[in-house]
Chain A
């Protein structure tokens, strides 16, 4: 699936809040068609990085290119092609799920009839077929999260950025989401940047991972590469992502 054409490229990307550095000299590369797992403990700077990728906050310095565009200067070109599920996404409570999706479709300039079709199939696919006409105010947390995924299915972007998409989902929902991500990436070649704390699942779906800590990217590569790096001399063994991850944070 993955090619060597990079769709996200950052160079010394840095974000400071006052004197606090949230992201420091980040050099991240994500290739077209791959599923990239973005890991790190709370406060590592993952969400901040994502905000910079979408042009929602300006980097203090450094370069970003997403699909070849600078998100600060050309945010619309990026957002047209990239679907993002932000951390703690919300929808209008006094509209139904379907109406919310309709609004998103309109904002994306989709033609009316095509939008209706996509909305119905998207709701079906995330398991909200029966709840689509309920007010979002009456949704459970997991249902809202699913609606967020449905939004991405309606938008059909070239690339998806998911900030903790499995937060608040039940185990079955989680498995479904992972299955969904995998099949999207297979069928449509969608690139996925997946931010998550569930190492086990990341290991299942991701082609490559990046691990952040305190604003620094401490590791980047396929799980095999990281495993080899982590083991160094000990031959013949393979580490799970969890073991790799823990190695980076053991001494703290």
Chain B
């Protein structure tokens, strides 16, 4: 598999596609650091003292997105671009028949492709995060504590797995559909639905399942809200945003919306507004992480199984 992985990596790194993506990534991180760190700096000057300033580099949205939002919405695109034509292009070019008549395991081909994609994604995410922290440190002049670094690392891993999910999905479509156009379209359609329409649909479904007849009825409102949460938890974009903000924002103690927080909790939140330490944040975020890992694995496993059984015939 090493040989295939190396070739796939070299392919990615030499491609124009990668170059464009990388330029985009650099631009975005510059833009984010610029707007965000200026905001933060003016906050410091006006006297705010927050030990978690460093992490705010990634979660504060200036006039633009925060990095967390950016990856939540456009990370999928990176994954899709790396994977939507991985298998069907080789089938159409006849190189897949050539590859399969060599003494390599079929799984080495798909694993190699997936891993090469993951490596490229890792490179991208790590370089964005490094760029932003480096520039941010220079501009706002704060140094991260070890705990914050740990949070950052966790966040990087989370982002890689999240984009990996989209890579797996694109790979799956590139196996299912013979035409490159169709697989690209299917992946993008899926992305648009999940990113933009799910929140729409959630509210509609929640209205049907748990309608609010009287807005002063707390029970009804809570039930409605709970349905919304359950449904939106099926969306990887939502999962990722929730998990990422919990990791990166120590003040966020729950992923629930305020409405669902019990009264005692609200009081304690107001009174003891202490940041959570890392293990506590991890505890809150663990189920989210596990769900994202599971989604990614399911996608890849489906792609893997279908590919292993598929007959490859070049036309």
Contacts and interface: CB of A to CB of B under 8 A. Distances in A.
Chains A and B bind each other:
yes
A79 B311 contact: no
B102 A89 contact: no
Contacts of A68: none
A61 B105 CA distance: 23
A89 B314 contact: yes
A86 B311 CA distance: 13
B103 to A, nearest CB: 4
Nearest to A137: B93
A108 B98 CA distance: 12
A86 B102 contact: no
Interface residues of A, number: 28
Given A89-B98, A91-B98, A103-B3, A79 B314 contact: no
Interface stretch (A33-41, A49-57, A126-134, A225-233): A49-57
Interface in B187-231: none
Given A86-B101, A91-B98, A92-B95, A107 B3 contact: yes
A91 B90 CA distance: 9
Contacts of B3: 103, 106-107
A87 B14 CA distance: 29
A107 B102 contact: yes
Contact of B314 (A57, A88, A108): A88
Interface in B1-47: 3-4, 7, 11, 14
B112 to A, nearest CB: 11
Contacts of A85: 101
Given A56-B100, A107-B3, A108-B102, A51 B95 contact: no
B294 interface: no
Given A47-B313, A76-B103, A88-B314, A103 B97 contact: no
B94 A79 contact: no
A120 B104 CA distance: 24
Contacts of A86: 94, 97-98, 101, 314
A90 B103 contact: no
A84 B315 contact: no
Interface in B77-125: 93-95, 97-105
17 contacts: A47-B313, A56-B311, A56-B312, A76-B105, A84-B101, A86-B314, A87-B314, A89-B94, A89-B98, A90-B94, A90-B97, A91-B95, A106-B3, A107-B3, A107-B103, A107-B104, A109-B103
Interface of A: 47, 51, 54, 56-57, 76, 79-80, 83-94, 103-104, 106-109, 148, 151
Interface of B: 3-4, 7, 11, 14, 93-95, 97-105, 311-315
